[in-house]
Chain A
Amino acid sequence: MRKKYGKDVEFVVVYIAEAHAIDSAWPMLKGPLLEEPETLAERMANAGKCAVGLELKDFLTVVDGIDDRVMRSYQAWPDRLYLVGVDGKVAYKGGKGPFDFKPEQLDAAIAKELAAIED
């Protein structure tokens, strides 16, 4: 999707609280074994591992503060997709992940937004 729209849309990964930290109610042992970070530095280190592990180097990645303010504002935990239109308004608010994390819906929202800009 980034290849398809990368010139016209800014794709931003927002790194938030861990979904399955080992010191959480839902630890996941298959995959990265991380504790919930205590500081921004620790969260940035986790985000760095993620960027390498998931090959996100071409994405702009930003890291939520340790107060989780942006995550809470966007009800983003454990994962969620949004499209913010060129007018600064929320054009698409995806469902709560992982079950309602639907990239195809974001794709459709982007196509609609870009078509509206062209008109």
Chain B
Amino acid sequence: MLTSFLLLPLLIQDPPPKPVQEPEPKSAWQLLTDKYDADKDGKISRAEYSKDDKYFVRLDADQNGFIEASDLKKLGRPKDFRGKTEDEKDKVVIAAAGMVAPDFTLRVLEKAKPSPAKKINKKVGLDDLFKPKTFQLSGLKGKKPVALIFGSYT
């Protein structure tokens, strides 16, 4: 009996809440089907896939009209993205040590505060979030060396 009374507070009190943890996805395929496979038939049809045709074609590696788990294993490297190959007419100059660095002008990622007027309109687009500022590599020629660090978040 005494033992039972000692245990009573444990029954009255709510158990401490467990920390909420996002379950780790089992696979990339699961992430994609969670997002796109609306009818849950285990494959993603063109109608279900919201992105552009060229992306669907890239992911539908066996070209059977559906993106399936087996397609992901057949994907190519980024040089094949969007149908581009080394032989296409937008062929680029390949950078090599000792040669003039291929020049480029790219958008600068720089967060800016939306102006009050834009806040009122609530039409905040890319140019409101990021200043449309550009960087041209050759602009630093004769001024200072440039270390280029190429990469991505993944």
Contact = CB atoms under 8 A, between A and B. Distances in A.
Interface of A: 1, 5, 8-25, 27-34, 36, 38, 40-41, 44, 46-51, 53-54, 59-93, 97, 106, 110, 113-114, 117
A71 B150 contact: yes
Nearest to B147: A11
A77 B78 contact: yes
Contacts of A36: 55, 78, 81
Contact of B147 (A17, A19, A41, A106): A106
B46 to A, nearest CB: 15
Nearest to B86: A72
Q: Which of B25, B72, B148 has the most CB of A within 10 A?
A: B148
A48 B111 contact: yes
Given A25-B76, A71-B78, A72-B79, A12 B135 contact: yes
- Can you list the 6 inter-chain pairs with the closest CB atoms, starting with the nearest? A27-B28, A76-B150, A50-B153, A79-B151, A88-B141, A25-B75
Contacts, number: 228
A91 B32 CA distance: 42
Interface residues of B, number: 62
Contacts of B152: 15-19, 46, 50, 78-79
B31 interface: yes
B106 A62 contact: yes
Nearest to B51: A38
B124 interface: no
A93 B147 contact: no
12 contacts: A8-B145, A12-B146, A14-B149, A14-B150, A47-B109, A62-B109, A62-B135, A67-B82, A82-B95, A88-B138, A93-B95, A97-B151
Nearest to B76: A25
B109 A48 contact: yes
Contacts of B59: 23
